[in-house]
């Protein structure tokens, strides 16, 4: 996967970050840098639960704990980068 993600975390741990995955390497930058393929706005605790496979992403989307601006398939692909 080659994609750029902008994250806006809300809740207890607020932060803006850019994650670039390219050629099987990942880089993380503070703030929103460049153009993103997907912008994710998420409650920080819900996001951690999603990465740990403890939270259902569909339920989080329906409850608006996670909001997307871009294709859902990129969020699914991002989650697969962090297997248990």
For residue 84, the model assigns a pLDDT of 64
Q: Summarize pLDDT for 15-73 with one digit per residue, the tens.
A: 999 999 999 899 999 999 999 999 999 999 998 888 788 888 888 889 999 999 999 89
For residue 34, the model assigns a pLDDT of 95
Q: Summarize pLDDT for 72-83 with one digit per residue, the tens.
A: 899 888 878 766
Q: Residue 27 carries which DSSP code?
A: E
pTM as predicted:
0.86
Pairing of strands 38-43, 3-10: parallel
Asked if 79 contacts 51 with a C-beta cutoff of 8 angstroms, the reply is yes
Q: What domains are there in the chain, each with its CATH number?
A: 3-80 (3.30.1050.10)
Instruction: State the Rg of the chain over Cα.
Output: 12
């Amino acid at each position: 996967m080659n994609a750029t993600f902008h994250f806006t975390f809300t809740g207890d741990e607020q932060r803006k970050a850019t994650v670039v995955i390219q050629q099987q390497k990942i880089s993380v930058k503070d703030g929103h840098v460049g153009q993103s393929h997907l912008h994710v706005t998420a409650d920080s605790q819900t996001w951690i639960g999603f990465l740990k496979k403890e939270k259902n992403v569909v339920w989080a989307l329906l409850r608006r704990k996670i909001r997307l601006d871009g294709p859902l398939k990129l969020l699914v692909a991002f989650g697969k980068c962090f297997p248990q």
